[in-house]
Structure 1
Amino acid sequence: MRTSLTRRHFFGLAAGASALAACSAPGQEPAPAVTSPAPARTSPPPSSSTAASTSAAPSGPATEVAHATSGRPEIALTFHGAGDPRITRQVLDLIRQHDAHITVLAVGTWLAEHPDAARMVRDGGHELGNHTWSHPALAGYKPEPMLAEIQRCRDKLAEVTGTPGTFFRQSQGQHATPQELVEAGRAGYARVLSYDVDSLDWKDPGPAAIRSAVAQARAGSVVSMHLGHAGTVAALPGILTDLRERGLTPVTATELLK
């Protein structure tokens, strides 16, 4: 079900006091596998009532998607949901000004700390998804703690926004492992949303470099970006202008993949 080889990378620190690390760091050595996550990483299984209120589990492992094949002139700008809510508001304001829509893959700890930021995303007509509870090096987790990371974020997302989101995205990796696909399916997600273009904005390389990275996007691309970084905000006007001039419309991942 995977579209390309899995790549795993270190979890770098994002700018700002509450910003989390990036999802991948091409060119670095993979993080060491975690054989037994710390107790704080786990959580008890959700109650049957909570699980029933979020989503029904599909029949098997989730399917990974990283690029649309419809041929429509659309792309999905997807954002790692973490960081200062003031930056989230700035991103949403710019997106609104350009009549675009985005998908935010929310980290559970961010949802717990800043529920109003997630509601801003929802109320702006954008899409939310699940990006694990604490953004660990998820591929190294054993099945049950891996499932707990997904379920705990799922349940907080449903509590805060009224929906568990359509998609799950693995943390610290561009592509999902077979086990991550299995556990996402067990948690009720039919699709795992990976990506084919990495903006590298989490490295804070400057607006011009971020804009250049996103320029690699083509019709059907899923682009990885991050809330919580001032450089991302500075790059967005140019990115959105470039996309419009190329005839590409930023839409939610659900719209892109329909």
Structure 2
Amino acid sequence: MGRVTSTDRRAALRAGAGLVAGGAFAAACSPSGTPSGSPSGSSSGSPSGSFSGAAVHHAPAPTSPAPASRAPARPLAAPAPRAFPGQPAQIAHGPRDHARVALTFHGQGEPAVAHALLGEAERHGAQVTVLAVGTWLDAHPDLARRVLDGGHDLGNHTQRHLDVNAMSEAEAGAEITGCAERLRRLTGSIGTWFRPSRATRASPLVETLARRAGYPHVLSYDVDSLDFTSPGAPAVARNVLGGIRNGSVVSLHFGYPDTVAALPAVLDELDRRGLRAVTATELFS
């Protein structure tokens, strides 16, 4: 896919800043709404990596209104979860000897933001992984088709995006299977991956329940953008680019204007470094 110039991209996406800034954004993946601590290998707001900054673009959004949410008109043939021999039950990163990375988005928030982020990724020829919240799919079922039609992975981020690790076995099981059932109804599959809500890693109980629900692996990450803390788009770009390397899995979110504004700079820099953004499934294949 040919690269769109920064000038073209800014002209196309400038109108989105006001739309995104006024939206209702997703809850942070931390029980208190503040970071619960970065996993090993993740970066902080001032990473020590060689990346010193990026020309962060204004938050993009579609130049025309996002389509009204409605159920898909036809069933989708979505891929099912698969096991990766030799990989642990909880996977934080892929092989370090291939120049590929996975950008993973927690699916919740305003549909216009999701459309803007997916569109920007596709303009760069990037594919991403979306871990969807069940209530978000209930409200915006058309987004399941949008993700899959774009060639992206679609997975499970629990039904209500609560602290699943703190729940009883019955409650946690219902959170996992509730979202899985919605994914199956919309796409014919329970989704390619499971990630616990409000936690970097699943507890042993949640890991067991996810496997019981049909997910051979829990998808964690080794780079945390901290975009849910709304640190500003330049900080989001630094957090990602300061920690990312071959095989990295990056945690990002739909629903935050900083993420939308930072993504063009992140993708431009990945291109410069020769790092290809692929789905999590491709990363581990």
Scaled by the length of structure 2, what TM-score is found?
0.72
Q: AA paired with 1:212?
A: R
Equivalent residue number for residue 131 of structure 2: 105
List structure 1 segments (4+ residues) > 4 angstroms apart after TM superposition.
Answer: 15-18, 54-58
* Alpha-carbon contact 1:16-1:228 (below 8 Å) kept: no
Quote the sequence identity (%).
Answer: 48
Equivalent residue number for residue 81 of structure 1: 107
Question: Cα–Cα, structure 1 residues 56 and 174, in superposed 2: closer, same or farther, change >3 Å?
Answer: closer
Alignment of 1:128 onto 2:128 = no
Alignment of 1:239 onto 2:266 = yes
Question: Cα–Cα, structure 1 residues 70 and 123, in superposed 2: closer, same or farther, change >3 Å?
Answer: same
SS of structure 2 residue aligned to 1:168: coil
> Shift in Å at residue 229 of structure 1?
1.1
Alignment of 1:26 onto 2:35 = yes
Deviations 1:48-95 (A, max 9, x none): xxxxxx97999xxx8100111251100000000001111111111100
Q: AA paired with 2:27?
A: A
**Which range is displaced more, 162-171 or 101-110?**
162-171
> Shift in Å at residue 122 of structure 1?
1.0
Alignment of 1:221 onto 2:248 = yes
Q: AA paired with 1:101?
A: Q
> Shift in Å at residue 204 of structure 1?
1.3
Question: Cα–Cα, structure 1 residues 189 and 234, in superposed 2: closer, same or farther, change >3 Å?
Answer: same
Structure 2 residue runs without a partner (length 5+)? 1-20, 38-78
Question: Cα–Cα, structure 1 residues 57 and 167, in superposed 2: closer, same or farther, change >3 Å?
Answer: closer
* Alpha-carbon contact 1:16-1:229 (below 8 Å) kept: no
Structure 1 residue runs without a partner (length 5+)? 1-14, 29-53
> Shift in Å at residue 247 of structure 1?
0.9
Q: AA paired with 1:247?
A: G
* Alpha-carbon contact 1:75-1:250 (below 8 Å) kept: yes
> Shift in Å at residue 27 of structure 1?
5.5
* Alpha-carbon contact 1:65-1:191 (below 8 Å) kept: yes
Out of 196, 204, 216, the position equivalent to 1:190 is 216
* Alpha-carbon contact 1:211-1:236 (below 8 Å) kept: yes
SS of structure 2 residue aligned to 1:225: strand
C-alpha RMSD over aligned residues: 2.2
Deviations 1:148-180 (A, max 9, x none): 100000010111222211211001111111111
Scaled by the length of structure 1, what TM-score is found?
0.79
Distance in 1, matches of 2:82 and 2:97, equals: 30
Distance in 1, matches of 2:111 and 2:158, equals: 19
Deviations 1:116-144 (A, max 9, x none): 12211111111100000001111111111
